Amino acid sequence: MSEAPPPDYGRLAAVGPYFALDVAALPGQAPPPGFRPLREFYAPDPGGPLAGRVREVARRLGTDEPRVAASILHLGLAARFCSVGLGAAVLLGELPDLGPDRAWVRVPEQGPIDLWLPGGPATADPAPLADRFRRTVVEGWLADLAAAVRSVVPLSDGLLRGNAASALAGALRVLGAHAAPDPARALVAEALDHPPLAGTGALTGTAFRRTSCCLYYRTAPRAGVCGDCCFTRPPGRR
């Protein structure tokens, strides 16, 4: 494979904060202050950053159920990766390397996590874009994320796959409102038709209805269900 010029990832930020990706201008450039390797963030340590983030989400949501906080955190992180991946694939025709051994992450006080990549040329990949998208985003980034979350809080595979599909559909709705809705939908539909996301829900246009629940309804006595939830009302409540 031949080396290609680095894509202009600056275009992604114009779509929204979930799509933004910072990339070093030069090879060997150090990350900005506060960033740590994604592999370090994913460490399966009760005292590590990911477990600490679950506890912080639980505190903010006011829940004493770790699995609820872990699911909501996972959904937010999945949305971040899906947005960058879908935006890059549709707007640039390329996908960044956000694997845990290359990407860096910073957790701000508010808003989505910050993502940073070292500089360097892109590597051309002749595979069809849909195949690259599934392999890189779904089977790569999202699988790594699910494994990391499950290493600190046990969650069902069905719930995590449903969260991933929901995050992908959410990225589609945002990106489709800005540019290229048809190519974006084609990539998402293709991903949802193949394992591991096959059977996680139904995509109609850009609307999605999942076959699982992210547990958001358990965050507060009066919390409702999400717009794409399999339930029409909180389970066990009138």
* Measured CA distances, 108 to 33, 53, 114 (Å): 12, 11, 7
Q: Are 5 and 122 in contact (CB under 8 A)?
A: yes
pLDDT tens series, the chain, 238 aa: 455 567 889 999 999 999 999 999 888 889 999 999 999 999 999 999 999 999 999 999 999 999 999 999 999 999 999 999 999 999 999 999 999 999 999 999 889 999 999 976 555 677 899 999 999 999 999 999 999 999 999 999 999 999 999 999 999 999 988 877 899 999 999 999 999 999 999 999 999 999 999 999 999 887 899 999 999 889 875 4
**Residues across the chain:** 238
Q: pTM of this prediction?
A: 0.93
Structure tokens at 137: 């985003």
Tell me how many degrees the CA angle 200-205-207 measures, rounded to the nearest 5: 55
Q: Which residues of 41-75 are buried (b: 16+ CB within 10 A; e: fewer)?
A: bbbeeeebebbebbeebbeebebeebbbbbbbbbb
How far is Cα of residue 184 from the mean position of the Cα atoms in its chain?
16
Evaluated on CA atoms 178, 146, 123, 102, the torsion sign reads positive
Q: Is 20 helix (H, G, I), strand (E, B) or coil?
A: coil
